[in-house]
Structure 1
Amino acid sequence: MNSLPRISCVILCHNYGRYLDQAVTSCLEQEPGRYILHEVIVIDDGSTDETEEVCRRRKGDIKVIRRSRQGFGRTLTDAALLSSGDWVAPLDADDWFHPAKLRTCAEAMASAREALFIEHWENVVDSLGHPKLKEPHPGGNTSTLLVHREAALSLLPVSNEIFFHALREAGRGLVLQDPVTFYRVHPRSMTDRSTPGVSQDYRAEVCFALADRLRAMRGNPPPWANGRRLGRISRHFRALASRHGVESSLQRGEQLSALFLIPGMLKDTIWARDPLAPWVRSLSSVIMGRPQVQLTTGQGESAHS
């Protein structure tokens, strides 16, 4: 029980070879702390750029899993399946960790031993690594998470890191305001933040899928939540899906479509026993006909939206 947590850093890479070396280095050059860097794994998901060459240069430092293209969801699922540490720290290959990332998170683990999920804030940068936002930004995306591997396995397969947020909603998560990841926003990012509605539609789809998964798990609940709690968390993600749907509709200028989602969002919010403030903000946005989320940078979005 007193042994140090073993952390597996797993880098997810598809054609991000130009950034990969920095990502690998950021994992290997972490400050010492109350943890063990168990392994650094690169999952090369069918890259056709210089990724293979970068991996070959760093082969003494990392374990490489190279395979044909299977997509982000499968790669994130494999990050949990193929690692062997107590905790998994996923990292998109175009991002990189602050040197204090693992030390900071390990200190949080030691102070809250029931935690199965940790997320932290991020520094948003551009393609060259220069600051894109003046202040740190709430996290929740892949590179800002650590998840206990056994808990992660109970949620597999996943299509997005949002699946792991269920652990936070079950009361088994920590949210740190330390910005210990550099999150890169660039034209070739996987997430399209410039086309109205696209990012929000994707998030809504993921949240609906997660809600359905949690509902199905009620008959045989995992150790971290009972059936009743899973039902409430399922409703939370249905409400969140509706909120993303409202944003998507407003970004596309479809105010009436957004209005139709408001009653269902309210019902799910009440069943989940969530605060009403997000619903009120969505209602206000519909009345005013203005989306809350700014396009291109994603500023205004967070894991708690």
Structure 2
Amino acid sequence: MDVDPAASAKVVGNMPPNISVCILSHNYAHFLRQAVESCLAQEPGDYRLEEIVVLDDGSTDRTLEVCAEFGSRIRVIPLPHRGFAATLTESVRHCRGDWVAFLDADDWFAPAKLRTASGYLRTGAMLVQHWEHVVDGDGSPLLPDPHPGGNTSTIIVDRAAALKLLPVTNEKFFHVLDDLGLGARMTHPLTFYRVHGDNMTDRATPGAHQEYMADVCGEIAVRLADLRITPPPWASRSALRRLTWHYRAEARAHEVEAALQRGRRRSAWGPLLRELASTVLAGRNYRDRGPSIHSVLTGRPCVRLAPSPQEEP
């Protein structure tokens, strides 16, 4: 749901939001310059840009040379190669702003990104997300209309809240804040999301992305269960318990989809039953289980596999 910050019942503080932009990069030197320039070209508004940080995950290409071209206008943190999960976790730890706006180095921001988002950062929300333009490797449109976001380059998170969720393996961890009613959503397309042959996520191999997401949701459930021991000020034990079971149900739903994408309908029944049981314990989102039930009964997966970068989605 799109939130109008001017109509929000809760506007927090009079100080402009203090934002760190964090660019996550691994061997994306050929895209990185555009990403950095899009951050430097942000339109002024009711916010303060604390810093532009490039976290380099052990790149072996010209990433550090490209960074050097920008001198003191950006802060560069070279890390040993440990993968996306570790880089995302370290990005929250290293940033200095009250808010962190993430940007994958193969994407770039629209000039109005921070100016438009700044009003939403003062509504009491702890996670702000927006829509995106989907483009190909050369930056040409792949979709005629803007697309709902939710991925790394389309979220801005309250750093203090994000620290409580660390370590993370995927940006979906931060969506917990939205699940708890602490999110704001915009329909403004403020990021250009690039689809190309070197994207980190495999969405073309049957079942691969679904198994990955099953693991992520399972890890979120474990983290939420841990948080219940000493709940943060923005969540109650009961809310964390319900959300734990919700993410267990989500993990099983992805397992169902993975099995069906691989043509293993019989092996989808076990995860489906566990999905339904977890949903009952969560006490929420019963309608979300309809697609899994329908898919298992018909033997047809719900999710269309992503096309190659040369195909139109």
Same fold (TM over 0.5): yes
SS in 2 for 1:219: coil
1:91 and 2:103 correspond: yes
**Residue matched to 2:160:** 150
Alpha-carbon distance, 1:31 to partner: 1.5
1:99-114 correspondence runs (5 A): 99-110=111-122, 112=123, 114=124
SS in 1 for 2:221: helix
Over the matched positions of the two proteins, sequence identity in percent amounts to 51
Alpha-carbon distance, 1:267 to partner: 2.0
Aligned partner (choices 185, 191, 196) of residue 195 of structure 2: 185
Deviations along 1:224-244, one digit per CA (max 9) or x if unpaired, are 101111111111111111111
CA distance in 1, matches of 2:306, 2:152: 19
**Residue matched to 1:204:** 214
CA distance in 1, matches of 2:166, 2:22: 16
Amino acid at match of 2:121: M
Contact persistence 1:250–1:286 (CA under 8 A): yes
- The CA RMSD measured in Å over matched residues stands at 1.3
**Residue matched to 1:27:** 39
Deviations along 1:111-156, one digit per CA (max 9) or x if unpaired, are x2x2111111111111111111222222111111100000000111
**Residue matched to 1:268:** 278
**Residue matched to 1:228:** 238
CA distance in 2, matches of 1:26, 1:262: 44
**Residue matched to 1:16:** 28
Mark the runs of 5 or more structure 1 residues left unpaired by the alignment. Answer: 299-305
TM-score by length of 1: 0.94
1:7 and 2:11 correspond: no
Contact persistence 1:101–1:181 (CA under 8 A): yes
1:48-63 correspondence runs (5 A): 48-63=60-75
Count of residue pairs brought into register by the alignment: 296
Contact persistence 1:73–1:158 (CA under 8 A): yes
Contact persistence 1:121–1:181 (CA under 8 A): yes
**Residue matched to 2:259:** 249
1:195 and 2:205 correspond: yes
Regions of 4+ moved over 6 Å = none
Aligned partner (choices 106, 109, 131) of residue 121 of structure 1: 131
CA distance in 1, matches of 2:302, 2:147: 16
SS in 2 for 1:171: coil
Amino acid at match of 1:81: R
Aligned partner (choices 162, 176, 182) of residue 172 of structure 2: 162
SS in 2 for 1:84: coil
Deviations along 1:207-235, one digit per CA (max 9) or x if unpaired, are 00110110121110011101111111111
Amino acid at match of 1:47: S
Contact persistence 1:185–1:297 (CA under 8 A): no
CA distance in 1, matches of 2:20, 2:26: 19
